[in-house]
Amino acid sequence: MIEHNKVVVITGASSGIGEATAKLLTKRGDKVVLGARREERLQKLADEIKAEGGEVIYASTDVTKRSDVEALAKLAVDTFGRIDVWLNNAGLMPHSTFDKLHVDEWERMVDVNIKGVLYGIAAGLPVMREQKSGHFINVSSVAGHKTHPGGGVYSGTKYAVRAISEALRQEEAQAGSNIRVTILSPGAVATELPNTITDTDLKGGIDSLYSAVAIPAERIAETVAFVMDTPEDTAMNEIIIRPTIQLP
């Protein structure tokens, strides 16, 4: 029988996939450590989880700041003594065509979608190495498998997540550290992600796609729980999960 008492750090935890995952895991007995920029949202979520009897702590965390991510890891260890799972979930998706020159948005995506994952790995890996166990679950995207006009930079960041994750998997397998790595590549999920799009030529079409096909964030949360429960001698390395009727 699987024991549900793992310590799980979740970035991007104030809404969407992060919020849904925190609720699901705490209901089954896992302990969650929530990180996101919007502290008031974290407080509300933590209150809801505690009211249901769950164990939760949180810290205002900007994943583009290494010190914030390191502090989140320290909070987890100081409070619960370990980190069993690190869910690198924080992300942005401000699609735009290159000719719009939304360079600030490109840089922000690189900082959040790539550096945020790297900072999470840097904060969690030493703890997991010392424990000789652990699990990184890194959120990529179907856009990390196939790109399209307007999605070049976003896709680039999500391809990077896959490359980083696979290299980490190989390194830890070689080291015999018992650290597992899973890449989750969601399609259209009902989250706030499309809200970051400022290119008006693209936003309408993407909003229509999400309105027509997006699946609840709980579907991804259930997938996180599934890969966490895989026996420790087995690693579920990559999962693509999209709405049944989504074409791209």
> Which structure tokens are listed for 221?
């949360």
Contacts of 6 (CB under 8 A, 6+ apart): 25, 30, 31, 84, 85, 228
Tokens 């397998």 found at: 173
Q: Is 154 a catalytic residue?
A: yes
For residue 49, the one-letter residue type is I
Q: How far is CA 183 from CA 99, 139, 238, in A?
A: 31, 6, 5
**CA quadruple 162, 20, 231, 63: dihedral sign:** positive
Determine the distance from the C-alpha atom of residue 121 to the mean position of all C-alpha atoms in its chain, rounded to a whole number: 12
Q: How far is CA 95 from CA 90, 133, 177, 196, in A?
A: 16, 37, 38, 8
Choosing from 58, 119, 154, 210, the catalytic residue is 154
Residue 139, helix vs strand vs coil:
strand
Q: How far apart are CA 90 and CA 239, in angstroms?
A: 18
Do 217 and 20 meet the contact criterion of CB atoms below 8 Å apart?
A: yes
Q: How far apart are CA 73 and CA 180, in angstroms?
A: 18
Cα angle for residues 22, 59, 179 (degrees, 5° grid): 60
Q: Nearest to residue 178, comparing CAs of 231, 224, 142, 99? A: 231
Catalytic residues: 154
